[in-house]
Amino acid sequence: MNNFTFNAFIFMWVLLATSSPSYAQAPSSENDNRETASADSAPADTVNDEASPVRFQFSGFGTVGMIYTDAKDLHFIRPSLSHPCDQNPDFSPDTIIGVQGNLSLGQRTSVVVQAISRKNTHNNYEPHATLAFANYAIAPFLTVRAGRMKMPFFMLSETSYINYANPWIRPPTEIYSLVPFNDLDGVDLLLSDNFGKWNVELHSYYGSSSAHVYRSGKGHLNGSGLNITATNGSLTLFAAHGEARMSMKWNDKYFQDLSSALASPFVPNGDRILQDLSGDKGRARVSSVAMQWDDTRWLLIAEYSQLKTTRYTPNAQAWEITAARRFGNFTPYLAYADFAKHRKNGTITSEKTGIPDLDAAVQAFTASRNLGQSRTTVGLRWDFYRNTALKLEYSHIRIKDNSWGSFLPTDPTNIRMENRHVNTIGASVDVTF
C-alpha cells in the first residue's frame, strides 16, 4: 500500500466513523489525548478493561488563512510544510483542515487517529495521517504509546497544526521550522507525577521521521530524546533534548546544477563539498527551553532552540517572545523572533574549491538553505463566535546575510536576497469542532 493510499484510507476512516450524530464531541487538541489518557487511567489492581464501555470521540479543526507580501519578487513559504505559490495574497501556507478520532477501548487502552489536508510541498492537497497511535496506561502515572505521533522538539509541537489553540496565525517559523521533521514513527513513554504544587511530566521517545524538503528533496532521521514539562498554576516550563542520525537528499534544479559542477574530477575538494551538502551520514542535536504564563488575562510565551548538525544544514539557534493581553473577546499581541547561524561553525561546509565562481555558487546554495531572519509582529485575535477566532497580523521581517529567510525568489536566477526588508499582512479564521 503506497503512502497516498494509506493516508487516504486513514482520512476516510475517520470521516466514516463520525457518520452518527451521537459521536460529536467538544473540540479537543492533540495534548488532550495525553491528558485524557492519563486522567482516565485507574490503578492497575482496579482497572477492568473488559467491563469498560467502548467510546468514540470525534473532533476537528481548520483554518482559512491569507498572507500578503509587499515584495513582488518573493514567495512566502513554511519550509517542509508548504509549496511556493504564484498568488499574492497567498492562501496556501496557513489554510488547513483536520479531523481526529479517539477510540477508547477501556480505562487503559485507546487509539488516536488524526488526518489533515493542506497544500503540501508536492503542490497538492493529499491527506496526511499526522497521528495514528495506540495508547496504553500502565499505571495512573505511566503511559506508553506506539505508532505515529508528533515530533516533540518544541513546547507547542503537539498543537502546532491546531491554530485555534495558539495566539498567532501560525507558530513562529523561526522556531518551528528549525527542524523540518514533524512526524515521529516510533514509541514514547510518559511519566507524570505531582511534587507539591508542581505537576511534572517526563517524556522519552524513540523513532524515525521523514520529510519532503525544498520542493523535491527528502530528509530522514532516526533518534531519541527526552522532554521535561513542569506546570504550576499559570506557569509552564519546558526543556527538551534530542539526538538523531540524519540524511538530507536535495533534488532541486539548483542543487542538481551545482552537484554536476562539483562532481567534475578537475574541481579540487568537489567530492568533500558534496558530502557536506547532501547525503545520509549526518547527525543532529536539538535542544530547547521554553516557558508560558497564562493567567487568563496575560499570556507570555518565550522559547529558545538550538540545532547542531555535522552537515547538510547550518548550525543555528532561534528564539521568540510573545506578550498578549485579553480584553474580553479581543487579544492584541506583540511578538519578536530571531533565527541566526551559530557564530562558530555556522556554515554547512568549510571546504573551498579555489575556483571563485564555483565557491560563490556553493555559498549561494548554502544561503538558500539558511532561514536566518528577524521578525517583529503586531497582531489581534478576536474570538467572535464559539470555538471560532479571527486573527490579523502585520510583520516586518529582515532577511539576514547569506540567507533566504522564510522566502523563495520568484525568479530562480535571483538567488541573493540577504539584508532585504519585507512586510507581510496576514489574516485567518480558525475553528474547532
Report whether 254 contacts 365 (CB < 8 A). yes
Distance separating alpha carbons of residues 432 and 46, to the nearest angstrom: 35
Report whether 302 contacts 291 (CB < 8 A). yes
pLDDT of residue 9: 41
Q: What's the CA dihedral at 148, 135, 7, 246 to 10 degrees?
A: 0
Strands 330-341 and 198-213: unpaired
Q: Which is more confidently placed, 413 or 28? A: 413
On whether residue 117 sits in a domain, the answer given is no
Instruction: Kindly report, residue by residue over 368-381, the tens digit of the pLDDT.
Output: 888 999 999 999 99
- Identify the residue whose cell numbers are 519578487: 73
User: Predicted confidence band at 6 (pLDDT cuts at 50, 70, 90)?
Assistant: very low
Report whether 382 contacts 400 (CB < 8 A). no
Instruction: Kindly report, residue by residue over 272-330, the tens digit of the pLDDT.
Output: 999 999 999 999 999 999 999 999 999 999 999 999 999 998 899 999 999 999 999 99
Range of the domain at 388: 65-91+136-432
What pTM does this model have?
A: 0.85
> In the predicted model, what is the mean pLDDT of residues 121-145?
93
Question: 303: helix, coil or strand?
Answer: strand
Q: Prior bond to 89 cis, omega within 30? A: yes
User: Predicted confidence band at 34 (pLDDT cuts at 50, 70, 90)?
Assistant: very low
Distance separating alpha carbons of residues 338 and 319, to the nearest angstrom: 6
On whether residue 377 sits in a domain, the answer given is yes
On whether residue 359 sits in a domain, the answer given is yes
H or E element: which one contains 270? helix 270-277
Burial pattern 198-232, b for ≥16 Cβ within 10 A else e, equals eeebebebebebbbbbbbebebbbebebebebebe
Distance separating alpha carbons of residues 94 and 81, to the nearest angstrom: 9
C-alpha cell at 178: 528549525
Residue 406 belongs to domain with CATH number: 2.40.160
C-alpha cell at 152: 516533540
Distance separating alpha carbons of residues 134 and 79, to the nearest angstrom: 29
Number of domains into which the chain is organized: 1
Instruction: Kindly report, residue by residue over 165-196, the tens digit of the pLDDT.
Output: 999 999 999 999 999 899 999 999 999 999 99
Give bridge partners of residue 101 from the DSSP assignment: 58, 113
On whether residue 109 sits in a domain, the answer given is no
Q: What angle do CA 42, 45, 50 make, to 5 degrees?
A: 70
On whether residue 152 sits in a domain, the answer given is yes
Distance separating alpha carbons of residues 225 and 286, to the nearest angstrom: 9
On whether residue 46 sits in a domain, the answer given is no
Q: How far is CA 109 from CA 30, 58, 68, 272, in A?
A: 17, 17, 46, 51
- Identify the residue whose cell numbers are 503537539: 158
Query: What one-character-per-residue DSSP string does 345-402 give?
Result: S-SS-----S-HHHHHHHHHHHHHT---EEEEEEEEEEEEETTEEEEEEEEEEEE-TT
Report whether 230 contacts 280 (CB < 8 A). no
On whether residue 59 sits in a domain, the answer given is no
On whether residue 48 sits in a domain, the answer given is no
Quick one: 134 exposed, middle or buried, by C-beta within 10 A (0-12, 13-18, 19+)? middle
Give bridge partners of residue 286 from the DSSP assignment: 242, 307
35: pLDDT strictly greater than 50:
no
Instruction: Kindly report, residue by residue over 72-100, the tens digit of the pLDDT.
Output: 888 898 876 766 677 889 998 999 999 99
Other Cβ atoms within 10 Å of 193 Cβ, number? 12
Instruction: Please give the distance of CA 265 from its chain centroid, rounded to a whole number.
Output: 40
Question: 239: helix, coil or strand?
Answer: strand
